[in-house]
Structure 1
């Protein structure tokens, strides 16, 4: 009999894995973006109330294995998952997607936080933000010499000196080239997610000789098993079922 799995998702890999799970397992989403309605497993949307709430859910639902396939920058969720696994006495496995690596000719600069990012942007005029929703909290701070473009999951009305684009990857290379050309982008801001579906923007920046500001990855907690590739995790899961 298959173990009852709780899969913490939100990434492309998590959705791919959810399509392979049976009806006894649960795919959990924070609630941002589209909620799939065609999965063979159960789907849960919303938070748990921290590590203690997650541990209580694991016990109540008889979960036997916790899988953390959240975004590499979802540090708080990953910390809650590791702690909840300890509290509930179940194993926690995590997919730790490798980050992108700079190549020849790339001008990549890492920053630690928003304040450092703003300072690094001082001499640019047309930044393209692909960080998610965080820049939306700072639209009132846009310098007079800058026009921002913010690409996140949901669009909203434009504000002075800013355009907000709602879009979800994967993004095609030619589409990214057209976007950069339309915007006159002179610097790209991104998280180092390591996702193939959003990597084309880096190629466009490379082709145009544009700098890329990367928000440094957070430290994630150690768990019982970590995997760099989805198929390695799936193989280990299959062996566990034997």
Structure 2
């Protein structure tokens, strides 16, 4: 490995990032923000927690001899990505990123795009039995559920619901058959989703399509440019291996 890429810092928290981490040896670092489950079977170092913004990340890069930052965080982790790009520029090292291709509606799909929570709530108003697949954000709004709605919220962490909400802690990949059972059990009439892309959670879109259900889709935030951007995890994994 060259001096420039003597040590890799992989910013993760997604399934794709974990697969990349499994290809790294003990020289390298896999960093998690702290919300994901910490893997116990990796050869590389696993670091949990924030860096203190871009300036803290610059210090970490210098202290740990990092020569390449690889951003494989969630497409909606915009602040982390912005800090990683800025820190890499300040440290004069490359910034690579996995930019997973977004999903796209097919002919006949009823996708309703929104930019923030306020727009999402307005779009949700006509429905009664939504399925939220937005991560943790709906948990902060359990006290705001309208009287005509019952929410089903699926996220990674266990959380108590209430009389108007059920919270399901589950991690993909999800199958179409499993999603059909969930939609039936909860009488889902609309799906709320981030446009995360990838196959692991795409089954909900297929089932919504089968049933002609609308999808309220939260638009992706803008992400910083990368020195090298990959839309295929396998291609990124290969590129990392060529550095060895």
Normalised to the residue count of structure 1, the TM-score between the two structures is 0.97
In structure 1, stretches of 5+ residues that fail to align are none
Tell me which stretches of 4 or more aligned residues in structure 1 moved more than 6 Å: none
Q: For 1:136 and 1:237, locate their aligned partners in 2 and report how far apart those are by CA, in whole Å.
A: 37
1:62 aligns with 2:73: no
Could you list the per-position Cα deviations for residues 123-164 of structure 1 after superposition, in whole angstroms to 9, with x for gaps in the alignment?
100011000000011111111111111111112222121111
* Contact 2:55-2:87 within 8 A present in 1 as well: yes
Q: In the alignment, is the contact (CA less than 8 A) between 2:23 and 2:237 conserved in 1?
A: no
Q: Equivalences for 1:113-128 in 2 at 5 Å? A: 113-128=116-131
User: Secondary structure at 1:236's aligned position in 2?
Assistant: helix
Tell me what 1:49 maps to: 52
Matching of residue 237 in structure 1 with residue 240 in structure 2: yes
CA distance in 2, matches of 1:85, 1:22: 22
Deviation at 1:175, TM superposition (A): 0.8
C-alpha RMSD over aligned residues: 1.1
Count of residue pairs the alignment pairs up: 241
Counterpart residue number, 1:4: 7
Query: How is 1:1-242 mapped onto 2 (pairs within 5 angstroms)?
Result: 1=1, 3-241=6-244
2 CA distance for matches of 1:158 and 1:233?
39
Question: Which blocks of at least 5 consecutive residues in structure 2 are unaligned?
Answer: none
Task: Name the CA distance, whole Å, in 2 between partners of 1:172 and 1:239.
Answer: 34
Per the TM alignment, residue 195 of structure 1 is displaced from its structure 2 partner at its CA by 2.2
**Secondary structure, in 3 states, of the residue corresponding to 2:200?**
helix
Residue deviations 1:185-239 (CA, integer Å, cap 9, x gap): 0000000000211000001100111000000000001121111111222232333
CA distance in 2: counterparts of 1:37 and 1:236, whole angstroms: 25
Q: Which moved more, 1:70-79 or 1:156-165?
A: 156-165
Instruction: Give the SS at the match of 1:196.
Output: coil
SS at match of 2:57: helix
